[in-house]
Structure 1
Amino acid sequence: MLKKLSLKGVGPAPEMEVEFAERLTVITGDNGLGKSFILDAVWFALTEEAFGEEILVKEPEKSETAEQKPSITLLYSDTEGKKLEFNRRGLTWASDKGGSRTDFPNIGGPLIYLGIGNKISIYDPIRPSNKTALCSIYELDEIRNGSPETPFSINNINANINGIFLRESRIKINGYLIDLTNWLYEKQEPYTQIQEALKILSEDSENPLAITRARRIANLAQPKTIPHLNTEMGEVPVTLASAGIIKILS
């Protein structure tokens, strides 16, 4: 649970503090005031990985004391927290936790950040995306259709279109179209969980949102099996659901 974010010499204001509510925090304001920046700063403090652009620090004063160094402090409980300080000489951030990102936060699982621009970042200290990075940033289209771990070649593209993944082209993520279809047929626990989540989000309790079936749809590029969603206006492919529902499914 996040408690408080304190910024000094970072972002649009000399100093800034944000206290978070227990379940939901709503941040409002005009365009350009820094709403998205606050979320980016929280993500950076948690993971020490920038989401998109690097965290902006202010220009130094002529005689900058240790107390005036740019810093980000994040409290995630009443007694525990983390502080990052900016080293101007090396242009790097240092943590008071000794530099081991896997020691903080003690979350026991992955974190997911749905940012602006249809990008999603996943922080997984247990299963890093490579030997050095604990974060992976995906486009929304990759979350939907999946992404191989190795770069595409012409052979890989042809193999992927035909549903055959070459030995050297390991799958990085399946994509939610494949996952939803598998869960629907196999009735796995994730299927039950996603149905419960959609039910809670439904306005009509007698006709709740639900994943109903998967149908094969032919389009100009390639035929695909698309899970369908029951809505108040009937059954629609999940690819045509509202932007909010698509982000939740992602």
Structure 2
Amino acid sequence: MLDSLQLQNVGPAPELKLELAPRLNLITGDNGLGKSFLLDVAWWALTRKWPQDLNANLTSGYAARPTDITKRASIAFEVESKTGRVKYESPYVADEQAWKGKAGRPWNPGLVIYALADGGFAVWDPARNYWKKQGNIDVQERLPAYIFSSKEVWDGLRLSVDGKPTQVSNGLVADWASWIREGRDDAKRMAAVLALLAPTVGDDSLKPGDSFARLSVNDARDIPTVRMGYGQDVPILYASLGVRRIAALAYMLSWAWREHLVASRQLGQQPSSRVVMLFDEIEAHLHPRWQRAVVPALLKVVQTLTEDEGASVQLIAATHSPLVLASVEPLFDVEKDAWFDLDLEGGQVELRKREYVRLGEVGNWLVSDAFDLKEPRSLEGERAVRAARDVLSAKAPSLEEIEAADKQLREAGLPDIDPFWVRWDYFVEQAKKAAAAEKKS
């Protein structure tokens, strides 16, 4: 588990400090302020490897660099490991172009899964990626992590292990097909995870289809299908981006936990009691109905997968979605959860832990500190309402000013049901009556 991060002279601000909650952590902020960067650093603090350094096929996950190379830069963090709490500060060594690490055997933070925004995944497994002993000597001979590009999630990951090309993952298409043929726990696990991640309304559910599909006469693969809400079995490779995003997530969670259990049994070890999941742009490609279900579903999925081991689960997710913020209102617990917000103030990025207040309707979240919109309307609507409010607050606006603001409101296309009309129409009516009365007198 990751307890804290503190950055100096690295990232978008001279200094950033993050005190994380033990269960759910949501990070909001405008584009370019450092949400993805914080997740990359969190992964590195837990695993001591940058994703891009281990798989150049990624389009994200690059190693962090000092903002000013002439000044001291450091990444400090606190991790709850298998052997206790670890606090460490890693300075940047310019001559080595690297962050100085702890000598010897590192910490064991538990199973770590990172869903990157570009569709790639990173997995660090304490049973398969941690150091081992040869006699009384600690050696790092295992793979440092499993890093999948978006394509490798589907087609499989092949790496050099002990100098030999090794298929470490068959990929979603082959593994899922194999699990379905065997018809045992793996297929049931995948179906259960899919069912949890995809919200169900009536019969509109996402579940495995009844048959395989072939894409062409030249493609020998049996492609798993998904049963769509309209009754058709669609090859998973032909499904929408949102469905594929959910399927890839279901697969990586199922695969990571499955392989961790297999490796733990082979090594005679107990499975991990801690799971950390990092998720960038958690709402990517998802319909609003799915956006408002994904965070509670993720927590439930990981808890369900690990229930036999009683593992504790920490989720750290970056989001642009007001529906995601609204979706956690029923479950947010100030003792277990936290919300962090990145803002640009005076030309400098500021990170704040915000008080999580239940706001109800999604529109209220749009005008909250999370998203900083002035109005939950179109840009034209926002400008028109702002101009109308200026007129409302004026001491003695002229009829011409009122009519100009009224025209701007109507040209902005505010719908008839917009609550602002009630106040505005009454104001205009009273202003016209007053003008008519003044004209008579």
Determine if the TM-score, normalized by the shorter chain, exceeds 0.5.
Answer: yes
Does the Cα contact within 8 Å between 2:5 and 2:75 map onto a contact in 1?
no
CA distance in 1, matches of 2:50, 2:215: 39
Q: Cα deviation per residue 1:29-62 (whole Å; 9 max; x = unaligned)?
A: 1111011000000001011101222112232567
2:99 equivalent to 1:93: yes
Does the Cα contact within 8 Å between 1:184 and 1:213 map onto a contact in 2?
no
Q: Which residue of 1 aligns with 2:209?
A: 212
Aligned positions, number: 222
Q: Which residue of 1 aligns with 2:178?
A: 182
Spell out the pairing of 1:26-65 with structure 2 (5 A cutoff): 26-52=26-52, 53-59=62-68
- Please state how far the C-alpha of 1:169 moved relative to its aligned partner: 5.7
Does the Cα contact within 8 Å between 2:128 and 2:143 map onto a contact in 1?
no
- Please state how far the C-alpha of 1:210 moved relative to its aligned partner: 1.5
Indicate the SS of the match to 1:194. helix
- AA at the equivalent of 2:63: E
Indicate the SS of the match to 1:215. coil
2:133 equivalent to 1:135: no
- Please state how far the C-alpha of 1:220 moved relative to its aligned partner: 7.0
Does the Cα contact within 8 Å between 1:86 and 1:93 map onto a contact in 2?
yes
Spell out the pairing of 1:1-250 with structure 2 (5 A cutoff): 1-52=1-52, 53-59=62-68, 69-76=73-80, 80-88=85-93, 89-96=95-102, 98-101=103-106, 103-105=107-109, 107=110, 110-128=111-129, 131=141, 133-149=143-159, 170-204=166-200, 206-207=202-203, 208-219=205-216, 222-234=219-231, 235-241=233-239, 242-248=243-249, 249-250=251-252
CA distance in 2, matches of 1:39, 1:221: 41
CA distance in 2, matches of 1:127, 1:75: 20
CA distance in 2, matches of 1:21, 1:95: 25
Q: Which residue of 2 aligns with 1:157?
A: none
Cα separation, partners in 2 of 1:61 and 1:223, compared to 1, 3 Å: closer
Does the Cα contact within 8 Å between 1:5 and 1:74 map onto a contact in 2?
yes
Does the Cα contact within 8 Å between 2:124 and 2:144 map onto a contact in 1?
yes
Indicate the SS of the match to 1:104. coil
Cα separation, partners in 2 of 1:51 and 1:72, compared to 1, 3 Å: farther
Cα separation, partners in 2 of 1:11 and 1:220, compared to 1, 3 Å: farther
- Please state how far the C-alpha of 1:170 moved relative to its aligned partner: 4.0
Which protein has the bigger helix share? 2
Indicate the SS of the match to 1:17. strand
Give 5+ residue unaligned stretches, structure 2.
Answer: 53-61, 131-139, 253-441
Give 5+ residue unaligned stretches, structure 1.
Answer: 151-167
Cα separation, partners in 2 of 1:222 and 1:84, compared to 1, 3 Å: farther
CA distance in 2, matches of 1:220, 1:74: 54
Q: Which residue of 2 aligns with 1:153?
A: none
Does the Cα contact within 8 Å between 1:149 and 1:171 map onto a contact in 2?
yes
Q: Cα deviation per residue 1:72-114 (whole Å; 9 max; x = unaligned)?
A: 213448x713323124244433345x4423x332x1xx42212
Which one has the largest radius of gyration? 2
Indicate the SS of the match to 1:219. coil
Aligned CA RMSD, in angstroms, stands at 2.9
CA distance in 2, matches of 1:210, 1:22: 32
Cα separation, partners in 2 of 1:38 and 1:220, compared to 1, 3 Å: farther
CA distance in 2, matches of 1:170, 1:214: 30
Does the Cα contact within 8 Å between 1:5 and 1:75 map onto a contact in 2?
no
Q: Percent identity?
A: 27
- AA at the equivalent of 1:123: W
Indicate the SS of the match to 2:225. strand
- AA at the equivalent of 1:86: P
CA distance in 2, matches of 1:135, 1:7: 24
Does the Cα contact within 8 Å between 2:45 and 2:77 map onto a contact in 1?
yes
Indicate the SS of the match to 1:73. strand
- Please state how far the C-alpha of 1:125 moved relative to its aligned partner: 4.1
